[in-house]
Amino acid sequence: MINISKPIIGKEEIAAVLKVLKSGMIVQGPVVEKLEENFAKYCGTKYAVAFNSGTAAIHAGLYTLGIGPGDEIITTPFTFVATANPILMQGAKVVFADISEDDFNIDPKEVEKKITKKTKAIIPVDLYGQVYNYPAIKKIAKKYHLKILEDACQAVGANRGKARAGNFGDVAAFSLYATKNIMSGEGGLITTNDEKIAEKCKMFRHHGQSEKTKYEYFDLGYNYRMTDILAAIGLVQLKKIESFSRRRIQNAELLSRGLKDVKGLIIPKIKAEHRHVFHQYTVRIDKDFGHSRDELIESLKKRGINPGVYYPKPLHLHRHFKNQGYKAGDFPVSEQMSKEVLSLPVHPRLRSRDILYIIKTVKGIANEK
Ligand SMILES: Cc1ncc(COP(=O)(O)O)c(C=O)c1O
């Protein structure tokens, strides 16, 4: 089966974990600190702070921006639920804005329509591994004095111009979940150029304690610490990131060349000046394809290819957001995209022959009328 993802765990990752286990220092310690140092260096930011998940990183990011009850945060309904849940965790209100078909991400014009006196921040997502359209959203944020939290959980290594993901907001959040471009099993980091934000993040992940003073609690915090065991995996993966990204990009280019003329199948658009690192290679299957998206999935599975759908239902149609008053029809583009998107395997363990097989199989199904 050609699966949608497969973590790459080499001898180096195993050796690094064993070294930590044998050291006896297995919780947050020097390896987490090294990961933070190297991650910040890679992203080109002054600071990185590690967490035990990307969700925790987003939660901490919102906390450091001062988000709390009564505040409204604008984000996309077409994302993983962990983009929006931390807004609720901070007692604030989730305000969705519809997406554009081009990059499947919030449309700046829709964002501006949703701004009220209570709006405090925007969370754009670098979806599928491509940095969001920041110039437009930054203009809006400046005009209305809003903060930006960049959800870069899917985009480590992506660029816009010379700047890497992690540089586009007041604070950014990454995930090292097992299926991400680099991973540590579970894990996450924030990046920022603001020392105060970095310090507050360190307190938030450690029950509100400063790392300098023990058993003195400055505010409510959580246990969001990463372990040295997992940081050891992340550190090794970080060394391999460029080779992983190059392979993903090559695989994506091959897919696009092979699929660009298939009627009813729309290949991903790469924005000018962007380096898309293809966490997902996501196409759209529209009515001209001759089969529905879900029929295509079934046919692919029968032929040994296991694709993914990110995301089959926009967030506003899930119960805990519906309870806030959202309903079907509120975000027509997101709803349409959730019926059309299909992610084909693109991960770095796939060789050209696997990619050529995917192309041949999709084309074969397209011709079965
Ligand atoms: C867009 C997005 N935001 C947030 C997260 C949350 O990350 P994690 O699963 O590490 O908590 C993920 C990844 O799973 C994601 O893809």
Q: Which domains does the chain have, with CATH numbers?
A: 11-237 (3.40.640.10), 241-367 (3.90.1150.10)
Q: Which residues of the chain have pLDDT under 50?
A: none
What pLDDT is recorded for position 214? 83
- Reference 224, options 69, 354, 49, 345; nearest CA is 49
CA distance 347 to 218: 43
What pLDDT is recorded for position 369? 74
Q: How is residue 110 written in tokens?
A: 């829709």
**Catalytic center residues:** 180
What pLDDT is recorded for position 38? 98
User: Measured in angstroms, how far is the CA atom of residue 22 from the centroid of ligand 1?
Assistant: 31
What pLDDT is recorded for position 213? 83
Residue 351, C-beta contacts closer than 8 angstroms, at least 6 positions apart: none
What pLDDT is recorded for position 211? 81
For ligand 1, atom 8: residue with the closest CA: 54
Q: Are 278 and 129 a contacting pair, CB within 8 Å?
A: yes
Q: How is residue 232 written in tokens?
A: 């050891």
Best mutation site among 5, 55, 99, 179 for ligand 1 pocket (most ligand atoms within 8 Å of CB): 55
For ligand 1, atom 7: residue with the closest CA: 54
Stated as kind and residue range, the H or E segment containing 122 is strand 119-123
User: Which pLDDT tens digit goes with each residue over 83-123?
Assistant: 999 999 999 999 999 999 989 999 999 999 999 999 999 99
Residue 177 CA: nearest ligand 1 atom is 10
User: Measured in angstroms, how far is the CA atom of residue 362 from the centroid of ligand 1?
Assistant: 29
Q: Are 47 and 192 a contacting pair, CB within 8 Å?
A: yes
φ and ψ of 177, to 5 deg: -60, 155
